[in-house]
Amino acid sequence: MGKEIYKLCLGKADSFTEIASAFPKKLEATVIEAVGYEVGPMQTILYVFERHFFRTESMASLTVLFTNDGQQIFADIIASGAGQGVFNISWGANGSFARMAVDILQQQGFQVLAQKDSP
């Protein structure tokens, strides 16, 4: 099973609620669950999405964690699944799902800090 991971950052924290709540509406996927927490000045929202990819005839999963430390907003994106056949090859569907999320956030000013994918 393939996976793709991104870490992004936005240098302003005042728009956390607006960005995090608008994100699921912009992503063409089903929200499986969303949870949020506030501890002191720290805020987090965790989303789990799934989406069907016709080219692999399978589902892909996307997990997005938004974290506001009071100065910056971080977004951790993990896409997985979408495998097909005996070898569970995703043919890049999970990467496409991750990049959809990255593109949405980059349009709002986020910068990619790190990216990791599996073969």
pLDDT digits (tens, 9 = 90+) for 95-109: 788 899 999 999 999
pLDDT for 18 beyond 80: yes
- From the CB of residue 58, how many other CB atoms can be counted at a distance below 10 Å? 18
pLDDT digits (tens, 9 = 90+) for 34-92: 999 999 989 999 999 988 765 555 678 899 999 999 999 999 999 887 555 444 455 56
Please give the residue range of the domain that contains residue 89: 3-117
The CA distance from 34 to 65, in Å, is 10
Cα 63 to Cα 45: distance, rounded to the nearest angstrom: 11
The more confident residue out of 20 and 52 is: 20
What is the reported pLDDT for 86?
44
User: Among 93, 25, 28, 10, which residue's Cα sits nearest to residue 59?
Assistant: 93
The structural domain count of the chain equals 1
- For residue 60, the domain's CATH number is 3.60.90
